Structure 1
Amino acid sequence: MSVTYLDLINRGARYYPDRIALQFGSEKLSFEETHELSNQLAHTLIQRGIKRHQRVALLLNNSLYSVPVDFACVKAGINRVPLNARLSLTEHRKMLEETGCEVLLYGADLSERALELSKLLPALCCHGIGNTAGGGDDLLADSSKQSTANPDVRSAPDDVILTLFTSGTTGTLKAAQHTQASYAAICRNVLLNLVAVEQNDAMLHAASLIHASGVFVLPFWLRGARTVIMPGFDPDAFLTLLEQERITTINMVPTMLQMLLASSRFAEVDVSQLRQVIYGASPMPRPVIEEAMALWGRQKFWQYYGQTECPLALTVLRPEDHEADLLGACGRPGIDVEIRLVDEHGDEVPQGEPGEIVVRAPAMMAGYHNAPALNDEIFMDGGWLRTRDIARFDERGFLHMKDRTSDMIITGGYNVYPREVEDVLTAHPDVAECAVIGLADPQWVEAVTAVVALKPGHTVAADTLVEFVARRLASYKKPRAVLFTETIPKTAVGKINRKALRDRYNDTA
């Protein structure tokens, strides 16, 4: 019998009733209080007629109630569909339509968006969490009248309890489905490969809990440790809490670390309790990680590579491997993960050659929602999952990422991986960040093009940057054009949005 997400929620609640589980500003909930509140919310959802397996959309920013609402959905057997609050009204509407959600739970600060959605979708039933301005009942207020006992709802390992839209930039909406068993396996993956959580640990969450940051909640819950939640990322407030709450673990994307480094307090803050700085989601510029390690110590830094389709740590770069050429690697495969590199025919590539990463692990999704053709394409014989990422293994077993198959540039018959060029450009002292894309070209089919954001107060000529790359890479890899911009667009989880840039500049070409 497989261990389920629900099993792990109930274990944590039973083992550590009196310890503080959640903290948001000055508000705190113990394990028992969180458990009972989530039970009451689950009963409230059931009372509203929401059935087991029904998809329910969640429009919630980080708050004290993020975790209790999540747990309540699991306890009620509901398939939750989180919506990133930063997305547009059009995107939210499309997500609701694609997943057939007829119920939306919204946070008090997002009641206006809930109202807009209910006007666009008359069949949508909205309920607030601490508010009724967006329509429907306040489930938080109503929950106080409900039983604190566990709901009598049957669960099975293959029940889908999460339908999560990926941060992909292909323009096609994809929603990965995770089950009771796969989400429990994600927890195991984190504990096996990334964090040896101890009872007095505390993790600080500033990124949205609906993506990678939220994956760490269950491992900390299971060990009786604290989850400290911020409403959003503010560098100064983050550094204050880091010291004040004696935080032991943080997880961030490279952009967040860059913003912290820009603060004069980064070198002064007391990080004596901080054991782990975990980062992932997108490539870390080498100058950024080197500066951070110099100030906080190499022993704190852990990198992971993973996907929404198979969270969290497919590979891990441990602190002792943060040196020399390995700073460009994404680590070795996780203990519970199998990885192969294959060509376009699905055949394994020779050692040292680049190929598409295919994976097999207990934490894999059950498949994309309502996408049979895409599922046939992405799942291979033997239970392997295609990632669309290109990488190579070195002789020591470290995986070195090249790029997404969709981002690879074919110019004059040669393959160019944008990340390789970006790694060179970000080492230039005037460059803050950049993205390399292929733009339509009558001669080369695609022209290697660098979109560059400079550091404040810095200037540099485009020709200088082209020559900087040409001295370090093959001539066909150098940019044929450099376009300057104020900022590089990112996806909702902080990845470079190359598709948005291709669309922008191809439209203006």
Structure 2
Amino acid sequence: MDEDGEDVRGDLRWGTVAGLVRSAAQRYAGREAVVDGRVRIDYAQLGERVERAAAACLAAGVEPGDRVAVWAPNSLEWIVSALGAVSAGAVLVPLNTRFKGAEAAYVLGRSRARLLFVTGTFLGTSYVASLRRAASEGPGSGPLPGLPHLEQVVVLADDAPESFRTWKEFLAGGDGVPAGAVRERADSVRPDSPSDIVFTSGTTGSPKGAVITHAQTLRCYDVWSELAGLREGDRYLIVNPFFHTFGYKAGIIACLMRGATMVPQPVFDVDTVLANIAAERISVLPGPPTLHQSLLDHPQRRHHDLSALRLVVTGAAVVPLRLVERLRGELGIATVLTAYGLSEASGIVTMCRRGDPAEVVSATSGRAIPGTEIAILDPDGRPLPAGRAGEIAVRGYHVMQGYFEDPEETAGAIRAGGWLHTGDVGFTDENGNLRITDRIKDMFIVGGFNAYPAEIEQLLGLHPDIADVAVVGIPDPRLGEVGKAYAVRRPGSTLTADDLIAWSRREMANYKVPRAVEFVTELPRNASGKILKRTLRAR
């Protein structure tokens, strides 16, 4: 509702993410905006910090449309640097904190990012050192020669290596930029301009960047906030990583819209979650089912006051009916919802509604969000009736503009009539509730992180002792699913499963690492040479 009580779509009300930040700073000025450790700031202060970061981006030469990347865990600095860059007209490229240096360098190079905000040391790893190893050689003259388009690297810490800048130094660089110039730049950004590029891997194994606009982001998460029932004064523990749409948009953007307090948590640790819920009177806790299961099963749960919790939104995996019942019954959480989305559709396609019975919440991902359509298609692209499984296709305002500078992959994903072919398999019931049953793309989900077999197979294939390999998802009681590799050794090799897993941990993000390896003499294939993954799953 606007000030006159009229319904106004989010994308029209705020126009851009910068408009949303400015509106929140005014509307919720004295309300607590972010609690990060001992730092507490209100919405007016958050608005000032974002404007200062935007000024620093202008001073650093960031132009509208430039890509600016953030490679850091959930923190106040992530929020300020990302929103500052977007307010300066840049297109945000969030990087997965589980990436190794080479994986991060690929996305930075592919997006031609001009500026990178990076954490110092996180989980015992120096991201700066990791990136330097991966991009130390190349034609560039900037801080990382292997990334010639990357002109500046800002370390979100008090110290930075030579040729990099600290966060404090970066911000100081914008002190001479007039406030009017920052406002003028923000106002020059159009609602249909790209606001972010979220890189996701497909069946080819090469990460592709889904381009989403300001208007799409605002409209989608205004709808999400309404369906979820997020409200002013809520206190939202954001454990979902900011590099993921669920963390950034259903987290930061949604909180800005409703005046909720953001409490970022950099890593999932159930003890910390429990402590935060009790100390900060957390009322909203979205996340994968594994998060909520860990919470319920923790032996010390009853020693923490969790009574403020009232809203849980989950998804990304099968949600047991028992989990929904326990959240509602044991914790007294009034609203437990499930949803389904993908980066190519702005992160949201379907969602349950408040008041849906537990059976619907657990067995389905809800119904299409307003203003969008879902079709279930047979292999020839013809629509199927309710109850019949087929490929899920989506059409609506939330479908991406395309993959960044990749018209061929875009044409393969968005086909005739503007339908996005998701590669997921499912069916709808008579009420339009969607149930996901399989994945054409073979993707599996490890503790809420999407893992793509083709990408993992490509990486495993680099091992000198591997002749052939296939990866499938297998059930795991803690993470939902994990990878299992079926591998063919090269002649004479004595490679063991432990050897390959240890090698994988050095070469790829942890969630991609196969938890099991089985060596076979050959992989099952059909007449055309395609690996029969169903046969492998059946084993």
TM-score surpassing 0.5? Answer: yes
Is the aligned partner of 1:163 residue 2:179?
no
Are the counterparts in 2 of residues 111 and 131 from structure 1 also a CA contact under 8 Å?
Answer: no
SS of 2:184's equivalent in the other structure is coil
Deviation, 1:163, is 0.9
1:200 is matched with 233
Q: What letter matches 1:152 in structure 2?
A: E
Counterpart pick for 1:323 among 354, 358, 378: 358
| Map 1:203-242 → 2, pairs under 5 A | 203-211=236-244, 212-215=246-249, 216-242=251-277
* Structure 2 runs not aligned, ≥5 long: 1-10, 122-126, 138-143, 446-450, 454-469, 479-496, 524-539
Deviation, 1:21, is 0.8
Q: Per-residue displacement from partner, 1:408-452 (whole Å, max 9, x unpaired)?
A: 9xxxxxxxxx99xxxxxxxxxxxxxxx9x9xxxxxxxxx998845
Say if 1:454 and 1:303 are closer, same or farther in 2 by CA, change over 3 A.
closer
- Over the aligned positions, Cα root-mean-square deviation in angstroms equals 3.6
SS of 2:80's equivalent in the other structure is helix
**CA distance in structure 2 between the partners assigned to 1:451 and 1:350 by the alignment:** 30
Are the counterparts in 1 of residues 69 and 117 from structure 2 also a CA contact under 8 Å?
Answer: yes
1:477 is matched with none
**CA distance in structure 2 between the partners assigned to 1:341 and 1:178 by the alignment:** 24
Q: Percent identity?
A: 26
Q: What letter matches 1:334 in structure 2?
A: I
2:166 is matched with 138
Are the counterparts in 1 of residues 231 and 260 from structure 2 also a CA contact under 8 Å?
Answer: yes
Are the counterparts in 1 of residues 238 and 265 from structure 2 also a CA contact under 8 Å?
Answer: yes
Say if 1:292 and 1:243 are closer, same or farther in 2 by CA, change over 3 A.
same
Q: What letter matches 2:235 in structure 1?
A: A
Is the aligned partner of 1:181 residue 2:208?
no
SS of 2:381's equivalent in the other structure is coil
TM-score (norm 1): 0.78
Are the counterparts in 2 of residues 190 and 312 from structure 1 also a CA contact under 8 Å?
Answer: no
1:309 is matched with 344
Are the counterparts in 1 of residues 367 and 434 from structure 2 also a CA contact under 8 Å?
Answer: yes
2:102 is matched with 90
1:366 is matched with 401
Say if 1:451 and 1:384 are closer, same or farther in 2 by CA, change over 3 A.
closer
* Structure 1 runs not aligned, ≥5 long: 409-417, 420-434, 438-446, 456-482
**CA distance in structure 2 between the partners assigned to 1:136 and 1:496 by the alignment:** 29
Q: What letter matches 1:198 in structure 2?
A: R
Deviation, 1:117, is 4.8
1:60 is matched with 72
User: For structure 1, which segment, 3-12 or 237-246, has the greater mean C-alpha deviation from structure 2 after superposition?
Assistant: 3-12
**CA distance in structure 2 between the partners assigned to 1:507 and 1:70 by the alignment:** 49
Are the counterparts in 2 of residues 329 and 401 from structure 1 also a CA contact under 8 Å?
Answer: yes
**CA distance in structure 2 between the partners assigned to 1:21 and 1:326 by the alignment:** 30
2:133 is matched with 116
Q: What letter matches 2:283 in structure 1?
A: T
**CA distance in structure 2 between the partners assigned to 1:342 and 1:502 by the alignment:** 34
1:466 is matched with none
Are the counterparts in 1 of residues 212 and 400 from structure 2 also a CA contact under 8 Å?
Answer: yes
2:113 is matched with 101
Are the counterparts in 2 of residues 378 and 385 from structure 1 also a CA contact under 8 Å?
Answer: yes
User: For structure 1, which segment, 293-302 or 71-80, has the greater mean C-alpha deviation from structure 2 after superposition?
Assistant: 293-302
Are the counterparts in 2 of residues 107 and 131 from structure 1 also a CA contact under 8 Å?
Answer: no
1:397 is matched with 432
Deviation, 1:178, is 1.1
**CA distance in structure 2 between the partners assigned to 1:502 and 1:367 by the alignment:** 36
**CA distance in structure 1 between the partners assigned to 2:314 and 2:156 by the alignment:** 31
Are the counterparts in 1 of residues 388 and 427 from structure 2 also a CA contact under 8 Å?
Answer: yes
Q: What letter matches 2:117 in structure 1?
A: L
| Map 1:428-507 → 2, pairs under 5 A | 451=474, 453=476
Q: What letter matches 1:203 in structure 2?
A: Y
1:21 is matched with 33
**CA distance in structure 2 between the partners assigned to 1:252 and 1:356 by the alignment:** 26
Are the counterparts in 1 of residues 391 and 421 from structure 2 also a CA contact under 8 Å?
Answer: yes
Q: Per-residue displacement from partner, 1:151-206 (whole Å, max 9, x unpaired)?
A: 42111122112111126576221111111211112222212322x23221111112
Are the counterparts in 2 of residues 5 and 184 from structure 1 also a CA contact under 8 Å?
Answer: yes
**CA distance in structure 2 between the partners assigned to 1:112 and 1:287 by the alignment:** 45
Counterpart pick for 2:87 among 75, 78, 87: 75
**CA distance in structure 2 between the partners assigned to 1:116 and 1:400 by the alignment:** 44
2:184 is matched with 152
SS of 1:178's equivalent in the other structure is strand
Are the counterparts in 2 of residues 52 and 78 from structure 1 also a CA contact under 8 Å?
Answer: yes
1:127 is matched with 154
User: For structure 1, which segment, 243-252 or 285-294, has the greater mean C-alpha deviation from structure 2 after superposition?
Assistant: 285-294
**CA distance in structure 1 between the partners assigned to 2:204 and 2:319 by the alignment:** 22
TM-score (norm 2): 0.74
Are the counterparts in 2 of residues 53 and 79 from structure 1 also a CA contact under 8 Å?
Answer: yes
Deviation, 1:319, is 5.4
**CA distance in structure 1 between the partners assigned to 2:22 and 2:376 by the alignment:** 39
